[in-house]
Amino acid sequence: CAHASLPKSRGTGLDETLPGAGPSCNHVDEVWPNLFLGDQATAANRYGLWKMGITHVLNAAHGTMFCQGCHDFYGTTIDYHGVPAYDLPDFNISQFFFSAAEYIHKALSTPGAKILIHCVVGISRSASLVLAYLMIHHHLSLVKAIQTVKEHRWISPNRGFLKQLRNLDLQLQQERGC
């Protein structure tokens, strides 16, 4: 994370004005109750996941060269869902918005469930799927969803993904008649 060395400036008002000066360049952060957004290192650490109590993993970099944690890796203790997305502005990630949101929603409806959503760094692909989930199932606007996640983790969906999330925002607003 490029902003890891920025000093904390709590109480000075700078948190709001300095880009990236907010919380977190951690491997993983809980950005919504029982919903963890993280990187490949987190996903590859089965003991760490067990200690965190993770029951579900959504890998937004499924099948790419960085994918170590595929289905067989987790055995029967963790439910795995792979989304084969590439972190390129032209990649159509919107085709996965609803299916990924549905998976997250179902997972979190299970009592005691905790889900890790990750890609390689945990700021673009996986973050976009978390934003889509918050918009689809919790009726947050895109701006509100970004603000909510950014309270806990620095995220940076690529510009193409942001455009697709904006389209989702418009689509949902129209469907809800507001």
Ligand X SMILES: *[C@@H]1O[C@H](CO)[C@@H](O)[C@H](O)[C@H]1NC(C)=O
Question: Hey, which residues are catalytic here?
Answer: 119
Per CB under 6 A, 94 contacts ligand X: yes
Q: Which CB, 20 or 89, lies closer to ligand X?
A: 89
Q: Which is nearer to ligand X, 12 or 95 (by Cβ)?
A: 95
- Of 74 and 96, nearer to ligand X (C-beta) is 96
| 148 counts as binding ligand X under rule CB under 6 A | no
Beta bridge partners of 29: 37
Nearest approach in angstroms of CB 11 to ligand X is: 44
- Residue 171 engages ligand X in binding (rule: CB under 6 A): no
Q: Is 88 in contact with 158 (CB distance < 8 Å)?
A: yes
CB atoms within 10 A of CB 4: 10
Does position 95 interact with ligand X (CB under 6 A)? The reply is: yes
In the complex, the residues that contact ligand X under the rule CB under 6 A are 92, 94-95
